[in-house]
Chain A
Amino acid sequence: MNLHEYQGKELLNSFGVRIQRGIVAQNADEAVAAAKKLTEDTGTGWHVIKAQVHAGGRGKGGGVKLAKSLDDVKTIASQIIGMDLVTPQTSAEGKRVHQVLVAEDVYYPGDSEPEEYYMSVLLNRGNGRNMIMYSTEGGMDIETVAEETPHLIFTEEIDPATGILPFQARKVAFNLGLSGTAFKEMTRFVTSLYTAYVKSDSSLFEINPVLKTSDDKIMAVDAKVTLDDNALFRHKDLAELRDLREENPIEVEAGALGLNYVDLDGNVGCMVNGAGLAMATMDLIKQAGGEPANFLDVGGTADAARVEAAFRIILKDPNVKAILINIFGGIVRCDRVAQGVIDAYKNMGNIEVPIIVRLQGTNADIAKELIDSSGLDVKSAVEFQEAADKVQAVLA
């Protein structure tokens, strides 16, 4: 589960990580009130207005702007709220912005130049340990840094038995070239950042940029936080931060029905049991000349109710021109799945796209018989290739 920037920053702040302060606003008037309050609290003259959507690269799409007066705040906030923000990480239609973060200006002049760094905390899948990845090249796309100047990216592996150790925090600060107050601030920053990551059961923190201000404070100017969905049961407060407006509505509905569904751009819907077989089925659809319209894992119990729910979800996508059902019946018997398909089909009345059902495993022959004699416009298959051929035929 992803958090908004403002939510991520609140989470970091609650563990003692210094952040660029800000107040979230739902409309232009709230933004102006937020700006006034922020000036009272922090003394900031200018304000940064930042679109709150679940996508990176917001600045590039015009979703982050500097306001030098309250009039600016009002104008910019009304421009950004309600816009469809297009960034390198969104679709071409963009993402609707529902709220902005009004933040203090932290790039004020002072004794030294402000400097930006990059820092993330994530799992190293290679050895099953968390690591801190950081770079002197902040404010840039980290993939570009990795490609062009890989020697400027550092990593620090954390031993799960000890957590982050003081020498590791010092190493981070040294490698970033810091000294004096900024050095001490950085050791505190990285230590509390790692603590926040572990205590919140996160699976990714990406702070880009981490800023050294002109008066040597270290703070998070942005925060991308991804929480481990499997651990949300022990973080009820964080689970409540989920913003359904940021998610695909069909995916939300499918999730509520216990179906694992990912919306895609293609024309052939699919319903499969098991994630690996579902991905393989999508690949086969492509090889048969179609494009998968979705990933859908119905799970172990493919009974009539679940099959019907899955049908309804798939048919919400107007681009679907055919549906391929691919079930490997192991513990669940194919004839029961076939009956489920027939019952669901009859219940729904008007399915206008051709359906190909491939049932393999326990009682596959009885299942094929059931489908073939049902009188419905459903094509049956037993072998995987046969299913692909039938998909190809209906698309032709």
Chain B
Amino acid sequence: MSVLVNKDSKIIVQGFTGSEGTFHASQMIEYGTNVVGGVTPGKGGQTHLDKPVFNTVEEAVKQVGADTTIIFVPPAFAADAIMEAADAGIKVIITITEGIPVADMIKAADYIKDRNCRLVGPNCPGVITPEEAKVGIMPGFVFKKGNVGIVSKSGTLTYEAADQVVKQGLGITTAIGIGGDPIIGTTTKEAVEMLINDPETKAVVMIGEIGGQLEADAANWYKASGSKKPVVGFIAGETAPAGRTMGHAGAIVGGSDDTAQAKKKIMRACGIHVVDSPAEIGKKVAEVMA
């Protein structure tokens, strides 16, 4: 088992023929991901990377049975791409695009909420189930197959955590990059819940950062669930000053309850194994799984 994506996922790439889309789609295909085509409005009927190009997501769903999409569409048009995918019946919508206006995401989040789909991102590295499907921009070789699930707001910090886990002789079931924007589809709590409920996943790594309440919500859910699966946590940004945006649009301390210290306190109180040093993530995972 795994969550969100696996070897049977039928994946399309929106923004397929652009430079980002082309580069990462070819990396995904090389990894062995089941990419069944792509969408670029106006280029329908062409072939790109040996896969069919469609004008609309609806055509891709009808003709090749797409159920998962990865979006590389530029920020000004990305929210529209998300809504198009949801309308066409795509089940998993993974949005890599960084810099989407908040107002556009408010609209898109509202549009998709009653449709039967799950959004991951935006501004995220994507989702990977090792040896099955890489639906994102992460370096595939870092992620070896195993029993540890990873949830993270950040890209390179996810790779760092996965690398540390793998160096402990362990591996990954699925790593989910949920993104660092103020409005994201899948929350930390939802991602942790999926992994806790996945029989193959034996432990979860949850990496957060300053800003917002997502980690506290996830921690409270974990405590209430009574799950015995260990969760290892880290929150980046203990040294970040209040009121400044640290790279990710959502990474900003707004009050006393969204600092790294406050989040770690709640997580500890909920039974999560919190590490203060980002260099200790892998070691702690090995310890709690021993």
Binding site for B on A (CB under 8 A): 89, 123, 125-126, 128-130, 143, 159-161, 198, 201, 203, 228-231, 233-234, 260, 262, 264, 266, 272-287, 291-292, 295, 297, 328-331, 360-362, 383-385, 388
CB of A276 within 8 A of CB of B155, answer: yes
Looking at B156, B157, B241, the one whose CB has the most chain A CB atoms below 10 A away is B156
Q: Which of B8-16, B49-57, B195-203, B276-284 contacts A (4 or more CB under 8 A)?
A: B276-284
Instruction: List chain B residues, Cβ under 8 A from A230.
Output: 75, 99-102, 249
Q: From the candidates A262, A273, A331, A384, name the one contacting B279 in the complex (CB within 8 A).
A: A384
Instruction: List chain A residues, Cβ under 8 A from B180.
Output: 275-276
CB of B102 within 8 A of CB of A328, answer: no
Instruction: List chain B residues, Cβ under 8 A from A159.
Output: 110
CA distance A48 to B157 in the complex (A): 50
Closest to A203 in B: B102
CB of B239 within 8 A of CB of A275, answer: no
CB of B236 within 8 A of CB of A233, answer: no
CB of B236 within 8 A of CB of A126, answer: no
CA distance A373 to B86 in the complex (A): 53
Let me know if B106 is at the binding interface, CB within 8 A: yes
Instruction: Show 10 residue pairs from A and B whose CB-CB distance is below 8 angstroms, ordered by the A residue.
Output: A89-B243, A201-B101, A228-B101, A275-B154, A275-B209, A276-B251, A277-B236, A282-B240, A295-B246, A360-B160
CB of B156 within 8 A of CB of A276, answer: yes
4 interchain residue pairs of minimum CB distance: A276-B154, A275-B247, A274-B156, A330-B139
Closest to A360 in B: B163
CB of B107 within 8 A of CB of A384, answer: no
CB of A128 within 8 A of CB of B110, answer: yes
Nearest-Cβ distance from residue B160 to partner chain A, whole angstroms: 6
Let me know if B105 is at the binding interface, CB within 8 A: yes
Instruction: List chain A residues, Cβ under 8 A from B246.
Output: 262, 275, 278-279, 295
CB of B106 within 8 A of CB of A130, answer: yes
How many contacts between A and B, using CB within 8 angstroms?
164
Instruction: List chain A residues, Cβ under 8 A from B160.
Output: 277, 280, 328, 360, 384
Closest to B245 in A: A262
CA distance A201 to B79 in the complex (A): 15
CB of A331 within 8 A of CB of B137, answer: yes
Looking at B107, B142, B279, the one whose CB has the most chain A CB atoms below 10 A away is B279
Interface string of B127-159 (1 = CB under 8 A from A): 000000000011101100000000011111111
Q: From the candidates B76, B163, B236, B280, name the one contacting A234 in the complex (CB within 8 A).
A: B76
Instruction: List chain A residues, Cβ under 8 A from B100.
Output: 230
Instruction: List chain A residues, Cβ under 8 A from B247.
Output: 260, 274-276, 278-279, 295, 297
Closest to B207 in A: A276
CB of A330 within 8 A of CB of B159, answer: yes
Instruction: List chain B residues, Cβ under 8 A from A361.
Output: 139, 142, 159, 163
CB of A283 within 8 A of CB of B238, answer: yes
CB of A201 within 8 A of CB of B103, answer: yes
A129 and B106 contact, Cβ closer than 8 Å, known pairs A123-B183, A328-B156, A361-B163? yes
Interface string of B192-227 (1 = CB under 8 A from A): 000000000000000101101100000000000000
Q: Tally chain B residues at the interface, Cβ within 8 Å.
A: 61
Other 14 A-B pairs with CB < 8 A, given A330-B159, A360-B160, A362-B141: A128-B110, A160-B107, A201-B102, A230-B100, A230-B249, A233-B76, A260-B247, A274-B157, A275-B180, A276-B153, A276-B180, A280-B278, A295-B247, A384-B279
Instruction: List chain A residues, Cβ under 8 A from B164.
Output: 384
List B28-87 residues whose CB lies under 8 Å from chain A. Answer: 75-76
CA distance A275 to B277 in the complex (A): 16
Closest to B283 in A: A385
CB of B101 within 8 A of CB of A285, answer: no
CA distance A196 to B70 in the complex (A): 34
A126 and B153 contact, Cβ closer than 8 Å, known pairs A280-B278, A283-B237, A284-B277? no
Q: From the candidates B76, B105, B183, B239, name the one contacting A285 in the complex (CB within 8 A).
A: B239
CA distance A329 to B163 in the complex (A): 11
Instruction: List chain B residues, Cβ under 8 A from A233.
Output: 75-76
Nearest-Cβ distance from residue B76 to partner chain A, whole angstroms: 6
A231 and B101 contact, Cβ closer than 8 Å, known pairs A330-B139, A362-B141? yes
Closest to A285 in B: B239
Closest to A261 in B: B247
Closest to B249 in A: A230
CA distance A262 to B240 in the complex (A): 10
CB of A275 within 8 A of CB of B251, answer: yes
Let me know if B182 is at the binding interface, CB within 8 A: yes
Let me know if B248 is at the binding interface, CB within 8 A: yes
Let me know if B169 is at the binding interface, CB within 8 A: no
CB of A276 within 8 A of CB of B110, answer: no
Q: From the candidates B237, B238, B251, B279, name the one contacting A385 in the complex (CB within 8 A).
A: B279
Closest to B185 in A: A128
Closest to B244 in A: A262
CA distance A277 to B164 in the complex (A): 14
Looking at A201, A277, A362, the one whose CB has the most chain B CB atoms below 10 A away is A277
Closest to B276 in A: A287
Closest to A278 in B: B247
Let me know if B286 is at the binding interface, CB within 8 A: no
Nearest-Cβ distance from residue B144 to partner chain A, whole angstroms: 14
CA distance A291 to B103 in the complex (A): 37
CB of B156 within 8 A of CB of A231, answer: no
CB of B106 within 8 A of CB of A123, answer: yes
